[in-house]
């Protein structure tokens, strides 16, 4: 039996599928018979044996493993008493596709993922919650384990390192807002995908806390998702945050079917931006991907920046881009500088007080792109050929928001954006609050009376 299930299942001996099938065979031999050799009964028994063995083998439960920084047992991950004492202590040779690794709250170091899941059985690493029945029943459980996981990353390392594609079909989940925090240093990264591209990676509820605004000696990034060969596919970053410095919240290159949603990226800056250029999100050759319901603010230079050519079929909707509380520099919401961009749809976003506004013109080139239902308030919009633009609210007055001074960009009761948009259908028919777009207001938020 695999570790972690002794609380819920009987411990079965090695070869238990054979024993189970053997019990079935006994039913065919529990009364005398002249001979069963070659008989229909023997053939039926053989078939049933194979079926039962296969069913038993397929129903074997995935393993559950445990990480707890203060464990004092055998350090084998089998329960809370014998948990691995650090994420770097995980014995990846024991972990298999479909397994779950529960992590108790506490302080940990950096680690490299050492195993991939498969499509039908991903590997999951997650902060434990008191509602996790299996984890609560494991020996040594304490309700205090349901607390924030904190990684501290020294210079030159990555908190979670996915290298050479090892770490595909993987989920790392903090479970609640900022439930998994990664404190990074100069020239370090929160989460990195490196070398050969990984696929089917989901990162949820991870907060990357930067080193502050410092003189950087190397790239300092929240999420550095930059394989050098192959193409990442099905990468999801959801409900994550990057704050307190870093030259970039995210680098995302060679990505197909990426989903960046419900994230808050803010305060990216350094004291030497000439050496380490400040972006919030840098995208390189991104296809069939979605950026939705994110908040990008305290923007120094580029917000969502597409610098490489040939980005295609990218949906950007329901996001907030705003200057925030930092002094104005050269902030802009979205900018494309690469050529060959196709099928870029920018719908129902809100842009506020950005000095260089939205740059969707030269040197980028475009075809089949659309800019609709957006609020552009206190900043400018530049569009090149290849864009269609309609049903936008662009200007400096009247203020359409509930409380601009407090950065509350929901629509006020007398906002000129209310019910002035065009119906764009699914998946654009809900806002970041989960409110259905019944009247199709302009901007990131649907108006609610």
pLDDT for 137 beyond 70: yes
Confidence (pLDDT) at 61: 73
Q: How far apart are CA 380 and CA 396, in angstroms?
A: 10
Going along 230-368, which residue ranges are E strands? Answer: 232-238, 241-245, 248-256, 259-261, 264-266, 279-292, 295-297, 302-306, 312-317, 320-322, 332-336, 341-347, 350-352, 358-360, 366-367
pLDDT for 364 beyond 90: yes
* Model confidence band, residue 17 (pLDDT cutoffs 50, 70, 90): very low
Q: How far apart are CA 308 and CA 305, in angstroms?
A: 9
- 256 in the Ramachandran plot: left (φ > 0), alpha (ψ -120 to 50) or beta? beta
In contact, 245 and 220? CB cutoff 8 Å = yes
* Model confidence band, residue 8 (pLDDT cutoffs 50, 70, 90): very low
Confidence (pLDDT) at 18: 36
CA angle 291, 296, 299 (to 5 degrees): 135
3-state secondary structure of 193: strand
Q: How far apart are CA 416 and CA 422, in angstroms?
A: 14
Confidence (pLDDT) at 60: 52
- Count Cβ neighbours within 10 Å for each residue of 143-166 and write b for 16 or more, e otherwise: eebbeebbbbbeeebbbbbbbebb
Each residue of 25-61: pLDDT tens digit? 333 333 333 434 444 544 454 555 445 444 444 445 7
- Residue ranges in 63-103 assigned as alpha helix (H): none
Spans of all domains in the chain: 16-58, 64-407
3-state secondary structure of 54: helix
CATH 3.20.20.70 fits 64-407, yes or no: no
H or E segment and range at residue 24: helix 16-28
Each residue of 290-304: pLDDT tens digit? 999 999 999 999 999
Each residue of 305-348: pLDDT tens digit? 999 999 999 999 999 999 999 999 999 999 999 999 999 999 99
């Amino acid at each position: 039996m695999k570790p972690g299930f002794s609380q819920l299942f009987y411990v079965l001996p090695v070869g238990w599928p054979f024993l189970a099938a053997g019990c079935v065979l006994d039913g065919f031999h529990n009364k005398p018979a002249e001979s069963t050799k070659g008989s229909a009964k023997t053939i039926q028994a053989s078939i049933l044996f194979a079926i039962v063995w296969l069913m038993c083998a397929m129903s074997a439960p995935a393993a559950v493993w445990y990480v707890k920084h203060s464990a004092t047992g055998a350090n084998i991950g089998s329960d809370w008493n014998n948990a691995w004492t650090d994420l770097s202590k995980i014995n990846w040779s024991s972990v298999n596709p479909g397994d779950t690794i529960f992590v108790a709250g506490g302080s940990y170091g950096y680690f490299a993922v050492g195993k991939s899941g498969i499509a039908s059985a991903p590997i999951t690493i997650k902060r434990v919650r008191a509602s996790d029945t299996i984890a609560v029943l494991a020996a040594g459980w304490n309700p205090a384990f349901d607390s924030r996981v904190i990684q501290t990353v020294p210079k030159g390392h990555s908190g979670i390192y996915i290298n050479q594609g090892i770490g595909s079909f993987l989920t790392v989940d903090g479970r609640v807002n900022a439930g998994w925090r990664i404190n990074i240093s100069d020239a370090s990264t929160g989460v990195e995908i490196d070398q050969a591209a990984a696929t089917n990676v989901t990162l949820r509820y991870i907060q990357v806390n930067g080193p502050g605004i410092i003189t950087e000696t190397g790239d300092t990034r929240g999420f550095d998702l930059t394989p050098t060969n192959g193409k990442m596919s099905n990468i999801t970053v959801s409900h994550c945050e990057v704050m307190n410095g870093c030259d970039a919240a995210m680098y995302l290159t060679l990505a197909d079917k990426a989903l960046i949603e419900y994230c808050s990226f803010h305060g990216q800056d350094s004291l030497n931006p000439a050496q380490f250029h400040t972006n919030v999100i840098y995208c390189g050759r991104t296809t069939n991907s979605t950026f939705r319901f994110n908040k990008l603010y305290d923007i120094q230079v580029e917000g969502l920046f597409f610098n490489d050519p040939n980005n295609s079929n990218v949906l950007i909707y329901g996001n907030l881009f705003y200057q925030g509380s930092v002094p104005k520099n050269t902030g802009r919401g979205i900018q494309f500088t690469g050529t060959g961009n196709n099928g870029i749809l920018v719908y129902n976003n809100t842009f506020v007080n950005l000095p260089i506004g939205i740059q969707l013109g030269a040197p980028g080139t475009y075809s089949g792109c659309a800019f609709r239902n957006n609020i552009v308030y206190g900043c400018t919009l530049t569009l090149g050929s290849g864009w269609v633009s309609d049903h936008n609210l662009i200007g400096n007055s009247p203020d359409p928001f509930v409380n601009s001074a407090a950065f509350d960009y929901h629509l006020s009761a007398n906002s000129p954006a209310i019910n002035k948009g065009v119906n764009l259908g699914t998946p654009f028919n809900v806002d970041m609050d989960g409110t259905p777009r019944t009247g199709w207001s302009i901007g990131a938020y649907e108006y609610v009376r």
